[in-house]
């Protein structure tokens, strides 16, 4: 472990030297490191690691908010969904307080600005199984429509011309596929789907983590998508 620590610190020093030569700097207070591992990995040994940047200790973190997407050390989206829920929940409460005071179009405007925008951002990554967000979204829709807590939300979505959380994720997958067939994806993303087939299902992965990735989810989704939708994506 000592050798590993020394090797990493040496590489960090090379980065620091390069930055100084080019008159650049890194904010040490905002710099964190993360050890990626599965949940079964014994991590106590790694507690001895001490990394330094220009003589200052770099703090270790278990999750990190990178451009609005929360990444954790197990590479699942639990932390991100919890983060989103904490941001959306106060807005849902506000909608319930305003439901007898504001007209529907104002309520929908608040929803679009403070809830729907968050449900769309980065959805292609985390949107596969966001159970807690589905419940919060339904509460918000009931508040906009000013109906009871157990009212079905499908009629509300149709009336307000809004998508459910699962349907937003379906839309994002269609959009991703459209960009793929139009060759508008970055090369490092498009190569993940270059062997994708619409005729046969991909090999079923052994791990749950891989089953939840868009690399497996997209071709599986397209296998069950209506033919007329797929054909339309190819010709628009």
User: pLDDT tens string for the chain (236 positions)?
Assistant: 678 888 999 999 999 999 999 999 888 888 999 988 877 777 777 788 889 888 889 999 999 999 999 999 988 899 999 999 999 999 999 999 999 999 999 999 999 999 999 999 999 999 987 889 999 999 999 999 999 989 999 999 999 999 999 999 999 999 999 999 999 999 999 998 888 887 777 777 777 777 778 888 898 899 888 989 988 998 87
Q: Name the 3-class secondary structure at 148.
A: coil
pTM score, two decimals?
0.86
Q: Name the 3-class secondary structure at 96.
A: helix
Give the dihedral sign, CA 75/132/173/119: negative
For residues 128 and 221, give the distance between their C-alpha atoms in angstroms, rounded to a whole number: 11
Cβ 220 vs Cβ 201: under 8 Å: yes
Cβ 198 vs Cβ 230: under 8 Å: yes
Residues 6+ apart with CB under 8 A from 131: none
């Amino acid at each position: 472990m000592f050798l590993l620590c020394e090797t990493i610190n040496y590489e960090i020093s090379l980065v620091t030297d390069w930055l100084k030569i080019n008159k650049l700097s890194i904010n040490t207070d905002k710099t964190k490191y993360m050890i990626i591992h599965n949940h079964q990995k014994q991590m106590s040994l790694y507690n001895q690691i001490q990394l330094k940047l220009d003589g200052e200790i770099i703090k270790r973190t278990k999750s990190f908010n990178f451009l609005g997407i929360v990444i954790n050390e197990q590479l699942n989206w639990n932390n991100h969904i919890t983060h989103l829920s904490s941001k959306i929940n106060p807005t849902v409460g506000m909608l319930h307080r305003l439901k007898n005071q504001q007209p529907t179009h104002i309520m929908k405007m608040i929803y679009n600005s403070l809830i729907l925008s968050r449900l769309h951002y980065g959805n292609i990554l985390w949107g596969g199984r966001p159970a807690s967000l589905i419940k919060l979204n339904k509460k918000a829709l009931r508040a906009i429509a000013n109906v009871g807590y157990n009212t079905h939300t499908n009629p509300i979505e149709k009336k307000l011309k809004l998508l459910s959380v699962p349907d937003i994720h379906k839309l994002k997958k269609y959009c991703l596929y459209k960009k793929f067939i139009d060759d508008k994806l970055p090369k490092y993303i498009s190569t993940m789907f270059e062997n994708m087939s619409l005729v046969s299902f991909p090999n079923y992965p052994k791990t749950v983590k891989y089953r939840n990735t868009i690399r497996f989810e997209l071709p599986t989704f397209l296998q069950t998508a209506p033919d007329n939708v797929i054909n339309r994506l190819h010709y628009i």
